[in-house]
Amino acid sequence: MSAKAYLSVSGDVKAALAAGKPVVALESTIITHGMPYPQNLSMAQEVEALVRAHGAVPATIAIMDGRLCVGVSGEDLQRLAEEGHKAAKASRRDMAALLASGVMAGTTVATTMQIAALAGIRIFATGGIGGVHRGAEDSFDISADLEELGRTPVAVVCAGAKSILDIAKTLEVLETNGVPVLGFGTDDFPAFWARTSGFKVDQRLDTAADVAKLLAIQSDLNMGGVLIANPIPESDAWEASAIEGFIAQALADAEAQGIKGKATTPFLLQRIFELTGGKSLESNIALVKNNAKVAAQIAVALSSQLASRPA
Ligand code: PSU
Ligand code: MN
């Protein structure tokens, strides 16, 4: 059987893809492991509505009932949101096991990219990518997202990388993996809750049409993913110095409790949520929505550019 035999694509996503209409993939680890219930459910619904409002079809991706599901909605979205941390967190290495067992899983950036590419979706919106963890020189904890970006031809719109990570090392690995890092309207690589990190992006582009032009060429070259870094809206942004104390506390707590491996990112997000009295979650939701909007605009620009190419 081919990998595509495991795909279950919803009717509206299938129709849009067949017609060359814009589609935006959305991940589900952010639903199961990134946010508490019920805010995770309302976020997922609002993000889908925003993608539609900007002219594209949303395709939330998850692994459910032994299938690679593309275009999860309604009841299934509710199931994922309620399952929360009881669901699995699907990274690349977990896929076969999850399909074999039928266990429900939120897909990370890495697996969402894989499944999106399999379905023929080119644009994907998330919150922040995984990266090189602080202390990686000892722990070797480097997110599979960085490897996947190097090899899978999907453009990922994110708000940069969370400052719980080592951003300098994350950017170095992205360079090694051959991933173009574009700043959408910014020269500075954003740091999730903060608009800047002090590190430069590879290239700044200011319009969706300019990004789409680059993506079409990247695809012609048969190359891998592209990272589009879109800063959190000013109204919801933190000063880097204001969030750093909470990050340091969350990291210290993770260390004290011996949190390791795939539990690390969900633990840190949850701790920062508690330490900020829920404010980090409001910012997280705002930046995901902003990424969904920009991803839809890029998807619309890309499908119109591809449609106007000579056959
Ligand atoms: N961004 C968010 N919330 C999240 C994540 C990203 O706003 O929960 C998830 C993504 O699915 C990303 C994962 O792929 O965290 C990274 O996990 P790890 O560091 O274990 O690779
Ligand atoms: Mn990791």
**Annotated catalytic residue 27:** yes
CB under 8 Å to 269, separation ≥6 — which residues?
33, 34, 35, 162, 280, 284
**pLDDT at position 260, please?**
92
Contact call for residues 6 and 99 (beta carbons, < 8 A):
yes
Give dist(CA 284, CA 193) in Å, integer: 7
Taking CB atoms within 8 Å and a gap of at least 24, the contacts of 39-43 are 39/281, 39/285, 40/81, 40/84, 41/77, 41/78, 41/81, 41/82, 43/285, 43/288, 43/289
Nearest C-alpha to atom 7 of ligand 1 is from which residue?
Answer: 127
Nearest C-alpha to atom 11 of ligand 1 is from which residue?
Answer: 108
Beta carbon of 289 within 6 Å of any ligand 1 atom: no
Give dist(CA 293, CA 24) in Å, integer: 10
Atom in ligand 1 nearest the alpha carbon of residue 162: 1
**pLDDT at position 310, please?**
84
Q: Report the predicted TM-score, pTM, of the whole model to 2 decimal places.
A: 0.97
Quickly tell me which residue has 């990424």 as its tokens.
291
Contact call for residues 25 and 14 (beta carbons, < 8 A):
no
CA of 306 to the centre of ligand 1 (A): 31
CB under 8 Å to 208, separation ≥6 — which residues?
294, 297, 298, 300, 301
**pLDDT at position 1, please?**
93
Q: Tell me the mean pLDDT in the region 201-219.
A: 98
Q: What is the pLDDT of residues 249-277, one digit of tens each?
A: 999 999 999 999 999 999 999 999 999 99
Given CA atoms 114, 116, 121, 125 in this order, what sign does their dihedral have?
negative
Atom in ligand 1 nearest the alpha carbon of residue 192: 7
**Cα–chain center distance at 138:** 26
Q: What is the mean pLDDT of the chain?
A: 97
Reduced 3-state DSSP string for 234-285:
HHHCCCHHHHHHHHHHHHHHHHHCCCCHHHHHHHHHHHHHHHCCCHHHHHHH
Residue to mutate, 27, 28, 29, ligand 1, most ligand atoms under 8 Å from C-beta: 29
Tokens of residue 26, six digits: 């959305």
Beta carbon of 109 within 6 Å of any ligand 1 atom: yes
- For the stretch 165-177, what's the b/e string if a residue is b when 16 or more beta carbons lie within 10 angstroms of its beta carbon? bbbebbbebbeee
Identify how many contiguous H helices and E strands the chain contains and give both numbers: 13, 11
CA R_g for the chain:
18
Question: What percent of the chain stands above pLDDT 90?
Answer: 97
Beta carbon of 83 within 6 Å of any ligand 1 atom: no
pLDDT above 90 for 289 = yes
Contact call for residues 47 and 53 (beta carbons, < 8 A):
no
Query: Strands 57-64 and 105-107, how do they pair?
Result: antiparallel
Annotated catalytic residue within 14, 48, 89, 162: 162
Q: Tell me the mean pLDDT in the region 111-124.
A: 98
CA of 128 to the centre of ligand 1 (A): 7
**pLDDT at position 163, please?**
84
Residue 297 burial (CB < 10 Å; 0-12/13-18/19+)?
buried
Contact call for residues 147 and 225 (beta carbons, < 8 A):
no
Atom in ligand 1 nearest the alpha carbon of residue 109: 14
CA of 129 to the centre of ligand 1 (A): 6
Rounded to 5°, angle at Cα 182 from 268 and 187:
90
Give dist(CA 260, CA 251) in Å, integer: 11
Collapsed DSSP state (helix, strand, coil) of residue 77: helix
CB under 8 Å to 19, separation ≥6 — which residues?
none
Q: Which of 109, 98, 95, 145 is nearest to 28 (CA)?
A: 109
**pLDDT at position 133, please?**
95
pLDDT band, very low/low/confident/very high, at 68 (cuts 50, 70, 90): very high
Q: What is the pLDDT of residues 128-149, one digit of tens each?
A: 999 999 999 999 999 999 999 9
CA of 72 to the centre of ligand 2 (A): 26
Atom in ligand 1 nearest the alpha carbon of residue 33: 8
Query: Strands 105-107 and 123-125, how do they pair?
Result: unpaired
**pLDDT at position 300, please?**
98
Give dist(CA 262, CA 23) in Å, integer: 29
**pLDDT at position 311, please?**
73
Q: Tell me the mean pLDDT in the region 20-29.
A: 98
